[in-house]
Amino acid sequence: MINIDNNFFKNFNNLLYIQSIEIIQQNLENSDEWIFKNYKIDETLKEFKDYKVKEIKPRTLTILNGKITFKRRKYYKINPETGKEEYIFPLDKLLGIEKWQRINNSVKEKILSFIGKKKTYQDILDTMEHVKICIKTISNIMKNAKTDKEYYLNKTDKKIKIPHTLYIQIDGTYLKMWNEKKKRKRKNKKT
């Protein structure tokens, strides 16, 4: 009789995520190498022509497959007006990543897509367990969600007209609890 490991599928999925991260890392480093070889001659990279390579720095970024660390080149040029060095990472610019950003936009969009499905933070965390983020990160993404076109999910510019009267919908359970609190307050006042 063949003995199969009970965690076979879990281990297999983890192995797939690790391999996919390695493939993505290698592709990003190859893209950085291509930029280095062609940034002086390629027309699509003409904005980087005046820059020179300063150093190679690692970058850690959280993507849908997990955390990825890749190396990319840091370029600099001396600004003729101010005389100070200006730094740039062309790979980050081509990927659309800000210098302070640690979480990719695709992860943010995936988390924000759960808003309409009434998922709790813990449900989102369980659904995206391979991304390796914490509940506080999900909370911050929800709290700091922008409504501009960059992060807007349904891509409409309609403004909602807010009436003067605000109606609040309360379910029966909450209403009973509310009435019980009032009765307790009345009893406390009488005694």
- pLDDT digits over 51-97, tens only? 888 888 998 888 888 888 889 888 888 888 888 888 888 888 888 88
Query: How far out from the chain centre does Cα 12 lie?
Result: 25
pTM of the predicted structure, to 2 decimals: 0.61
For residue 57, list its beta bridge partners: 72
Task: Please tell me the predicted confidence (pLDDT) of residue 181.
Answer: 66
Region 96-101: what's the mean pLDDT?
Answer: 84
Query: Please, what is the Cα angle at 137 between 147 and 67, to 5 degrees?
Result: 110
What the block records as the tokens of 2 is: 């063949």
Comparing 6-10, 16-20, 42-46, 171-175, the range with the smallest average pLDDT is 171-175
Condensed to tens digits (0 to 9), the pLDDT of residues 121-179 reads: 888 888 888 788 888 888 888 877 765 544 444 555 566 666 667 666 666 555 666 66
CA 23/CA 162 separation, integer angstroms: 50
Residues counted in the chain: 191
